[in-house]
Structure 1
Amino acid sequence: MAKSDRSSKTEPKTRRKAPLATPSDLHADATQDISAALNGILADVFALYLKTKNFHWHMSGPHFRDYHLLLDEQADQLYAMTDAIAERIRKVGGTTLRSIGHIARLQRISDNDADYVEPLDMLAELREDNQQLAARLREAHNVTDEHRDIASSSLLENWIDETERRTWFLFESSRNAG
């Protein structure tokens, strides 16, 4: 093979701009609405996951073991949601979060950067955050119902149930305490 033949094969080819247009029977407005709703949920779930891990890592006090394990279990559940949410966004033809900065722009769950938070305050804050997430999951469900996206609606129903369970556990764990 001549030198000129080899060099032409190793030169970079011009890349085509290939849109991430996943085939879907949903209309473009449905894809846009559903993707926006689910990306907001995804940002909130990432924010709540990190806050839950933060409180898990910084838990202290007489109920340390129980609270530490509870928050670890809840963080695992939240993290497990992230891939399913992102993949659902892609399945309907949308694009999803790309960075921590993107999460920060969309999240509605407040961060907690305090040096110290009392254990019962941690549980109360996470309970309120999970209640907010459940409400937002219901809002997203309204969007998916409006566009007849049954698969997304079904996933949202399961996540609402899981979120209500986390809320319940956080409530019961802090009842009659202190």
Structure 2
Amino acid sequence: MTSKAELVNRRKAPLATPSDIESEAVKQISGALNILLADVFVLYFKTKNFHWHISGPHFRDYHLMLDEHADQIFAMTDEVAERVRKIGGTTLRSIGHVCRLRRVQDNEAEFVTPADMLSELHEDEAHLVLSMRAIHNLCAENSDLATASLLENWIDQSQRRSWFLFESTRQRGQE
């Protein structure tokens, strides 16, 4: 069995990952990516919440769409966190850490109309895109091409989800 002293020493072990990116840039980029990761976790949970609680005549379509969106959003989490580690940063360690960094707000209402759910998720996706563009600019300034490339794909995915959410909220006569 491992002694308490050994466990304490392990916890102190450095997580130094070699990187060709300047240390200050690593701090800035990993900090921005951790905020993005927190937002992605919150958006994932909110999307699943709405997926579980959607109701009404378009239930099946919305339920399936939100499940698909949640899967796409969740798939980002590991990629974002691993990118932070690859460049030499450390990433989120707890739900509390997520709550301290996140900018996407929860929705704990007992009932939310389907239109309001989709509109709120549309706004959250738009926020995510703006955030990712800012991080992309930071990466470009620091020649972090790999992170910038990943962000381009995530922006495209988020814009697609945003488009679907927007189109799903259109009323007759708005076509």
Could you state the TM-score of these two structures normalised by the residue count of structure 1?
Answer: 0.91
- Count residues in correspondence: 169
Instruction: Please point out which of 128, 134, 138 is paired with 1:139.
Output: 134
Deviations along 1:31-70, whole A, 9 cap, x unmatched? Answer: 1011001001000000100000000000000000000000
AA paired with 2:104? Answer: I
Could you tell me how far 1:11 is from its partner in structure 2?
7.8
AA paired with 2:113? Answer: E
Instruction: Please point out which of 149, 153, 162 is paired with 1:158.
Output: 153
Could you tell me how far 1:174 is from its partner in structure 2?
1.2
Asked if 1:22 is matched to 2:40, the reply is no
Counterpart in 1 of 2:84? 89
Max Rg structure: 1
- Residues 28, 54 of structure 1: CA spacing in aligned structure 2 closer, same or farther, 3 A cutoff? same
| Alpha-carbon distance between aligned partners in 1 of 2:23 and 2:84, rounded to the nearest angstrom | 13
Structure 1 unaligned blocks of 5 or more? 1-9
Moved more, 12-21 or 106-115: 12-21
AA paired with 1:37? Answer: A
Counterpart in 2 of 1:63? 58
Could you tell me how far 1:26 is from its partner in structure 2?
1.1
AA paired with 2:107? Answer: N
| Alpha-carbon distance between aligned partners in 1 of 2:166 and 2:115, rounded to the nearest angstrom | 10
Could you tell me how far 1:18 is from its partner in structure 2?
1.7
Counterpart in 1 of 2:40? 45
Asked if 1:173 is matched to 2:168, the reply is yes
Identity %: 62
| Alpha-carbon distance between aligned partners in 2 of 1:161 and 1:129, rounded to the nearest angstrom | 15
Could you tell me how far 1:27 is from its partner in structure 2?
1.2
Could you state the TM-score of these two structures normalised by the residue count of structure 2?
Answer: 0.93
